[in-house]
Amino acid sequence: MLSILGDRTYRHLLAAQVVALLGTGLATVALGLLAYDLAGARAGLVLGAVFTIKMVAYVGIAPIAGAFAERLPRRALLVTLDLLRAGVALALPFVTEIWQIYVLIFVLQSASAAFTPTFQATIPDVLPEEDRYTRALSLSRLAYDLENIVSPLLAGLLLAVVSYNMLFIGTVAGFVASALLVVSVLLPRPAPSEPRSVYARSTRGIRIYLATPRLRGLLALNLAAASGGAMVLVNTVVLVRGTLDMNETALAWAMGAFGAGSMLAALLLPRLLDRLPDRPVMLGGAVLLTVTLLAMALSIRLIGLSWPLLLGAWLLAGLGYAAVLTPSGRLLRRSAHAEDRPAIFAAQFALSHACWLLTYPLAGLLMTWLGAEGALIGLAVLATFGVAASALLWTSQADTPTPHVHDDLPLTHAHLGAHGGGRRHTHPVVIDALHPRWPVS
């Protein structure tokens, strides 16, 4: 898997991702402390609003940003967005009012909503071979999981010697370092696309996404992953500190178990995906995640919650979660032409975060109203719906060459000539101007 680090461009882009993630992790810790300073006991409400603003920015800004990403030089765009994020982080230590946090976070997350899909759409052009791209996806998953572990540890060490405001300076350093790493390499230019209106470009990614069976299945799997992930991210603190009456260190270990499961999946997936198609691997991961939630609810009902049970369940949940999310880039790459990749990655970014916008508050409400057992069952039911919908929407036939007819094309058309010369032919279908709808074979 590490052989792809021999590619200088990808190596620098991965390093940019890692340092930006570390900076973001420091900001997350510092933001919680800043909210407590400004709001006291109401800090939870402030942070809840911050997370909501983040998701709204992700869902609303990403498709619009994707419309312009295909028209702008990638390197200049990514560097500009990194520097914008650094500027916002630099302003956060000087905040004196809660509304200022909301404004700055909206700007920061809007920049991230433009940066992340553009960055993700660049990697398939840097590593066009599918096996190398698969390994890049696994390394990216590892980077996210390591950030979840390393950032809190680094923040704890820094807070022992500096105030929390200095963590924002670490965030600035992370974004500036990311910009320097991006500017140090030449990136492939986006493939030229047809002239379209802003509206058409903004909605193109979502239209391609929803017209492609495997991506409709991916959206349902995103819902399943968000259901399990929300249970872990929202309610682990309640389970550890409330139900089990354990300390902050135990909370870190519980979150670490989820991260360890995700990292294990990232290490195993490249070899597994060399042997199996994406569909059974991703559906299997979603089933594992769902069954884990149900089994944990049953165990709580029969024997109560225990520390080993929580660690084991979160390890399996992390394994299933990453098995769903890690291969998703392969599906996106396969489902769009090069010129449409920024739009399709932006659509995935927006639609997947729309699932989180649903499951985040649902996880908190179910835990408050029904307790751990009710929350686990409720989110497992939602995840089951996602798995079943994915299996129906994304059949194995959707990944095979599909026979179809082009009655609207002249026999001299280049597309017909490239596929045998007849109006009826068979090839892997990608939604585009010649194939605006998925053919029914």
What is the dihedral sign for C-alpha 230, 232, 233, 237?
A: positive
Domain that holds residue 258: 202-394
Domain-embedded: residue 426: no
What are the pLDDT digits (tens) for 162-193?
887 888 898 899 999 999 999 998 887 765 55
Together in a domain, 164 and 207 = no
Distance CA 13, CA 348 (A): 20
Domain identity same for 182 and 213: no
Name the DSSP letter for residue 411: T
Q: Are residues 171 and 318 in the same domain?
A: no
Tally of structural domains, the chain: 2
pLDDT at position 44 over 60: no
Of 394, 412, 435, the residue that ends a domain is: 394
Asked if residue 420 belongs to a domain, the reply is: no
Q: Does 180 share its domain with 213? A: no
Residue 441 included in any domain: no
Range with the lowest mean pLDDT among 2-16, 58-72, 222-236, 380-394? 58-72
Please check whether residue 432 lies inside any domain of the structure: no
> Among residues 156, 187, 218, which one ends one of the domains?
187
Dump pLDDT digits (tens) for 129-141: 877 877 877 777 6
Cα-based distances in Å from 377 to 112, 282, 302, 368: 33, 21, 14, 14
**Alpha helices by DSSP H, 248-277:** 248-275
Pair (289, 370) in one structural domain: yes
The answer to whether residues 107 and 220 belong to one domain is no
Q: Is the pLDDT of residue 290 over 90?
A: yes
Residue 30, domain member (yes or no): yes
Neighbours of 248 (CB within 10 A): 12
Whether 76 contacts 20, CB under 8 Å: no
* Residue 207 and residue 142 share a domain: no
Predicted confidence (pLDDT) at residue 2 exceeds the cutoff of 70 = no
- pLDDT in the model for residue 193: 57
Cα(405)–Cα(425) distance, rounded to whole angstroms?
A: 7
Specify whether 129 is located in the same domain as 263: no
**What CA–CA distance (Å, rounded) separates 414 from 252?**
59
Looking at the structure, tell me whether residues 114 and 229 fall in a common domain: no
CATH number at residue 170: 1.20.1250.20
Count CB atoms within 10 A of the CB of residue 382.
23
Residues 81, 220 within the same domain: no
User: Is 363 part of any domain?
Assistant: yes
Task: Name 424's bridge partners.
Answer: 405
Residue 433 lies in a domain: no
Closest of 310, 325, 203 to residue 254, by C-alpha: 310
| DSSP designation for 240 | I
- Structure confidence at residue 102 (pLDDT): 87
- What is the percent of the chain where pLDDT is above 90? 28
Last residue of a domain, one of 372, 394, 416: 394
Radius of gyration of the chain (CA): 22
Per-residue pLDDT of 82-122, as tens digits, reads: 999 999 999 988 988 888 888 998 998 888 888 888 887 78
CA 147-151-152 angle, to 5 degrees, is: 125
Question: Could you tell me the maximum CA-CA distance found in the chain, to the nearest angstrom?
Answer: 74
Per-residue pLDDT tens over the stretch 238-272: 888 788 888 766 776 887 788 888 888 888 888 89
* Cα of 264 vs its chain's centroid, Å: 18
> What is the arithmetic mean of pLDDT over 37-52?
69
Same domain, 326 and 183: no
Query: What pLDDT is stored for residue 312 in this prediction?
Result: 96
Whether residue 421 is contained in a domain is answered as no
Residue 349 and residue 201 in contact, taking contact as beta carbons nearer than 8 Å:
no
Residue with tokens 């959707």: 398
pLDDT of residue 146: 66
242 and 137 fall within a common domain: no
The pLDDT mean for the chain works out to: 84
**Going along 262-419, which residue ranges are E strands?**
402-405
Give the containing element (helix H, strand E) for 231: helix 213-237
Structure tokens at 272: 């597994």
pLDDT band at 32 (very low <50, low <70, confident <90, very high): low
- Beta carbons of 320 and 227 less than 8 angstroms apart: no
